[in-house]
A and B are shown apart, each in its own frame.
Chain A
Amino acid sequence: MPDVAYISKGVMLLPRPLADRLRAAAIAHVDIASLAAFRIIFGAVMFVGILRFLTTGWIEPMYGEPTWFFKYPGFAWVEPWSATGMYIHYGVLAALALAIALGVYFRVAIVLFTLGFLYTQLIDVTNYLNHHYLVVLLGILLAFLPAHAAWSIDVRRHPALARATVPAWFVWLLRFQVGVVYVFAGLAKAKVDWLGYGQPLNLWLAARSETPLVGSLFGEPWVALAMSWAGFLFDTTIVAWLSWARTRIAAYVVLIGFHGVTGYLLNIGMFPVIMTSSALIFFSPSWPRRVLRALGRERWAAPIAATEARATSPRRFVVAMIAGYVIVQLALPLRHLVLPGNVLWNERGIRFAWHVVVREKHGAVTFIAELADHKQLEIPAHNYLTPRQDREMSGQPDLIVQLARHIAEDLRERGYQVTAIRARTAVSLNGRAPAAMIDPTIDLVTASTERWVLPEPAGPPPRVTIWN
């Protein structure tokens, strides 16, 4: 049984009998319904999300107004279209999202949508959002899964595409991805500020004390602390509760409540909608049929007439790809643990790690150019950045360095003889008194390591309280 042996090696930490059972369960076929529903809901949510982006007027300030963009390493070549071009780009993304939901030319649509969405994210690092990263990951996964093999126009046009079942691991892969978000978002909250002081939730809730009925409680630090712990426990355990059939429905009800509350109180956009809809993947693979039957849609609920597929193991290169993907998804969120310093302060390893709303940072950054005649020239960041870019940069050391290097280039092009660019920073983390985040003696143009980041300020964050 070479396949079994291979899979067993892949899960070598498990006892052989358990590994064999796991393998058998993974390749066993399950109803395709939840995978098809995931596609439909993902496409619909993306369609709404893209329309929302188009109608809120964010294209101009995010792509039209900036004169310079922060780049990801290796992607400096990515430039935005003109503002009109970006409107068209997002319009096409909306059409592709609709195509995904309807299952029209699904493979083409999901690949183009994912690449097109990825492009919008690569234009400027300050556009990074955890849920945008999740959209790209889900898009990649869906591109490899036959999510259009049921309830799609593609199947209507080509009935041979229809499938009644898919290997369980197809569904597991999506569960893994959604689970990774929750678990690592929970682990990211396992920090002194969050669990010990209820920060930054305390700051945000105090500002929402006008909320009807419960607002008066938001000025109480213990409420923020209790909600911080609730958030931590929710994120770290919800996958387990959703995975266990006996607690699944109750867990999902709690999940809706959690995302409803966080969506109402915090400015996190489509994140609650994406997570609430994505978490449906934890239900039984046939859950959409049960819902359709409950809604009286028996014809839609009926299983698809298709040839039952034989349970086979995936090819080795597929297993290797999946293993690689899983390892990357587990390693990226953990990488900050092996990097020195406080990730909330130095931001090393904070992106692609599901550090969702765990810090509040504002800062003042002024660049100082040292010239050949030993004179100094201050360069306000707003000379180069929009207010949004400036706000994002002021708390992220690597972006400060990027801009410092751009300033050096720009000044040299203007004829200044720049010998160094330093940064004067004053950054407040979770309400603490402002502290220097960047060593003002370091030339950010030539510094080759991240030693420019100073240690985080000592001491706890303040507790904000409202008193009469």
Chain B
Amino acid sequence: MFSVRISGLALCVAACGSEPGSASDAPTDGFDRAGMLAHLAEHVLLPMQATFATRAAAVPAAIAAHCDALDAGQPAATLEAARAAGNAAIDAWERADTLLVGPAAMDHAKLRNEIYAWPLLSPCELDRDVAGRWADPASYDVSTELVNARSLTAVEYLLYPTTSDHSCVTAPTGWDTLGADLPRARCRLAQAIATDVAAKAAELHTAWRPDGGDYVGELARAGTSASTIPSAQEAINRISDGMFYVDKMVKDMKLAEAAGIALNACQTVQTPCVREVELRFSDRATFALRGNLDALRQALTGTTPIEDGPAFDDFMRALGQPELADRMIAKLDAAIAAAAALPDSFLTALDTDYAKVVAAHAAVRDFTDDLKSQFLTVLALEIPNDVAADND
């Protein structure tokens, strides 16, 4: 009977098919996706988390030493040490932020924002916390704060005060009574926030470590029964999603909006908008850019100072697209060179070397043109944050 035949075939179609990754323990094609994922996870991404966790752990003590020195009236040397510790942590985070994948990206990047919330920062909210915490330390709980009043962006603001004035329309309660205690109040708040960031950094590192949450293993074993990621292709897509940081955050926000190349909050055109500059209090945006681009290169090429292994460039070559791989590496190198050519002070660059900022933006844009087009089509990847809706 034809209906029986149809039912039988339908059953066979349903039964003979299987969920991606459920039946196979490894991809069966010629390119070793698992090897690429293992290399990127173990030798590129995990070391970034480890470095950041180590550096973040050092920040509270450095700030505490500075706070103690302030209490003792001898702050000169300790301030620079505290700033150096904070900057080192931020430098490490900039690299990890460029390739945001896994635990820090989950839940709308909740953990990421608790560690480094840029561009979210509320100086007024921080000034309120400075006064409030100084008056009653027990009343302050960093975990209840919005992300724009915590994270390393807040630490930077507090370690690089530009004025003794507050940033609010009306003075926060207790601000006027701070007087000479303002530096100590700022310092203690910075210490509290840095302590929280160090804890978050440790939590994140644990989530990555093989002896912890083992997100390294999740990526490396994607597509097997030992991972919740259904396929290696999906895992690769997650890393490529992270790489799109260079498009929106680096190209558009850090460069174009800050330089007035693109629409910005200041409504300036081809004139800098300092409010949009990352790390504007410490003036370390150039270092952030360089870290972002260098980390991106490690993901693209799999080459770190101590390791070299399969990565996206090898994947493209394996797919028979060496020209694309070479072109993207060359363009990224051009962007890295353009960032290297910027003065260390990004504010100075905006002021006196504006053409170099424009050139850096153009170089990054050349790279992202490939990233957003042929890179995606050839590797059959999806754009980040896309809806997994139907497509015909």
Residues of A within 8 A of B136 (CB): none
Stretch at the interface among B94-102, B174-182, B255-263, B282-290: B255-263
Is B170 an interface residue, CB under 8 A from the partner? no
Complex formed: what's the CA distance from A357 to B247 in Å? Answer: 27
Binary interface encoding of chain A residues 192-217 relative to chain B, with 1 for a CB under 8 A from any of its CBs, else 0: 00000000100110111111100110
Q: How far is the CB of B360 from chain A (nearest CB, A)?
A: 14
| Distance to closest chain A CB from B230 (angstroms) | 9
Which of A208, A249, A373 is the one whose CB lies under 8 Å from B5?
A249
Please state if B374 and A434 are interface contacts (CB–CB under 8 Å). Answer: yes
Tell me if B387 counts as interface (CB < 8 A to partner A): yes
Chain A window 27-71, contacts with chain B (Cβ cutoff 8 Å), 1 for yes, 0 for no = 000000000000000000000000000001010011000000000
Question: A215 touching B27 by the CB < 8 A rule?
Answer: yes
Identify which of residues 218-277 in chain B touch chain A, using a CB-to-CB cut-off of 8 Å: 223, 231-233, 247-248, 252, 256, 260-263, 267, 269-270
Are B369 and A426 in touch, CB under 8 angstroms? yes
Tell yes or no: A371 within 8 A of B by CB: yes
A215 B24 Cβ-Cβ under 8 A: yes
Taking a contact as CB atoms closer than 8 A, the residue among A366, A426, A466 that contacts B373 in the complex is: A426
- Nearest CB on B from A295, distance (A): 7
Contact with B along A353-368 (1 / 0, CB 8 A): 0001100111110100
- Chain A residues within 8 Å of chain B by Cβ, number: 82
Chain A residues positioned under 8 Å from B33 (CB to CB): 210
A287 to chain B, nearest CB (A): 8
CB pair A466 B319 closer than 8 Å: yes
The answer on a CB contact under 8 Å between B27 and A209 is yes
Tell me which of B10-18, B149-157, B345-353 binds A. B10-18
Nearest Cβ on chain B to A268's Cβ, whole angstroms: 4
Q: Does the CB pair B391–A267 fall under 8 Å? A: yes
B29: interface (CB < 8 Å): yes
* A362-B390 contact given A204-B380, A216-B29, A379-B263, CB 8 Å threshold: no
**What distance in Å separates the Cβ of B149 from its nearest Cβ neighbour in chain A?**
26
- CB pair A58–B30 under 8 Å, yes or no, is no
A380 CB contact (under 8 Å) in B4, B252, B269, B377:
B252
Task: List A417-440 residues whose CB lies under 8 Å from chain B.
Answer: 426-434
A387, B383: Cβ atoms closer than 8 Å: yes
**Which residue of the partner chain A has the closest CB to B391?**
A267
Are the C-beta atoms of A210 and B21 separated by less than 8 Å? yes
Q: Are A212 and B29 in contact (CB under 8 A)?
A: no
Given A207-B379, A431-B377, A466-B319; A267-B388 close (CB under 8 Å) = yes
| A362 in contact with B383 (CB, 8 Å) | yes
Q: How far is the CB of B6 from chain A (nearest CB, A)?
A: 7
Q: Is B143 an interface residue (CB 8 A)?
A: no
> Which chain A residues (267-306) contact chain B, with CB distance < 8 Å?
267-271, 290-291, 294-295
* B270 lies within 8 A of A375 (CB): yes
Identify the stretch in A79-87, A170-178, A235-243, A256-264 within 8 Å (CB) of chain B at 4 or more residues: A256-264
> Are A462 and B320 in contact (CB-based, < 8 A)?
yes
> A210 and B390: CB pair below 8 A?
no
**Cβ of B307: which chain A residues have Cβ within 8 Å of it?**
none
Contact B319 A388 (CB under 8 A): no
Alpha-carbon separation in the docked complex, A270 to B390 (Å) = 8
B324 at the A interface (CB under 8 A): yes
Is B392's CB under 8 angstroms from A130's CB?
Answer: yes
The 8 Å CB contact of A371, one of B9, B24, B269, B383, is B269
Q: Which residues of B contact A451 (CB under 8 A)?
A: none
B31 at the interface (CB under 8 A from A): yes
Q: Per a CB cutoff under 8 Å, which of A411, A415, A431 touches B378?
A: A431
Instruction: Tell me which of B5, B270, B392 contacts A269 (CB under 8 A).
Output: B392
Q: How far is the CA of A463 from the CA of B320 in the complex (A)?
A: 7
Whether the pair A131, B270 counts as a contact (CB closer than 8 A) is no
CA distance A270 to B392 in the complex (A): 10
B31–chain A nearest beta-carbon distance, Å: 5
How distant is the Cα of A211 from the Cα of B223 in the complex, in angstroms? 10
A295 cross-chain contacts in B, Cβ below 8 A: 3
Residues of chain B touching chain A, judged by Cβ–Cβ distance below 8 Å, are 1-6, 9-10, 13, 17-18, 20-21, 23-24, 27-31, 33, 223, 231-233, 247-248, 252, 256, 260-263, 267, 269-270, 318-321, 323-324, 327, 365, 368-374, 376-381, 383-392
Q: A462-B378, A468-B30 are in contact. List 4 more A-B contacts (CB 8 A).
A: A210-B20, A377-B262, A380-B248, A467-B318
Could you list 20 A-B pairs, sorted by A, with CB under 8 Å?
A58-B389, A209-B27, A210-B21, A210-B231, A210-B232, A216-B30, A256-B10, A257-B9, A266-B391, A294-B1, A295-B3, A357-B391, A361-B377, A362-B373, A377-B261, A380-B248, A387-B386, A387-B387, A428-B377, A466-B31
